[in-house]
């Protein structure tokens, strides 16, 4: 699924995000979406979300549920 489309992201979805401070290194943080922070329907760098842990970043990957 495309992580740049807001319609593909829902609360509770398992995703990998890149946080602002990790953009240079490309380090991805894995977690579950709590809130969607991007209002537009698409964003070229990924939809901004808040994870259940409180971390904020842009979705880079949507994980497949086991």
Q: What are 7-53's pLDDT values in tens digits? A: 999 999 999 999 999 999 999 999 999 999 999 999 999 999 999 99
Check whether 55 has a pLDDT greater than 90. Answer: yes
The predicted pLDDT at position 64 comes to: 83
Instruction: Kindly indicate the confidence band of residue 1, based on its pLDDT and cuts at 50, 70 and 90.
Output: confident
Interatomic CA distance for residues 38 and 49, integer angstroms: 7
Could you tell me if 43 and 53 are in contact, meaning their C-beta atoms sit under 8 angstroms apart? Answer: no
Other C-beta atoms lying within 10 Å of the C-beta of residue 26: 8
The predicted pLDDT at position 66 comes to: 61
User: Token match 């943080």: residue?
Assistant: 29
The predicted pLDDT at position 12 comes to: 96
Interatomic CA distance for residues 7 and 41, integer angstroms: 7
User: Token match 């709590």: residue?
Assistant: 34
- Domains (range + CATH), the chain: 6-62 (2.30.30)
């Amino acid at each position: 699924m495309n992580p740049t489309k807001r319609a593909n992201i829902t609360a509770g979805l398992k995703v990998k995000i890149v946080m602002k401070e990790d953009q240079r290194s490309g380090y991805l943080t894995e977690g579950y979406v709590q809130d969607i922070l991007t209002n537009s329907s698409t964003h070229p760098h990924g939809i901004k979300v808040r994870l259940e842990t409180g971390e904020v970043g842009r979705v880079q990957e949507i994980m497949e549920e086991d």
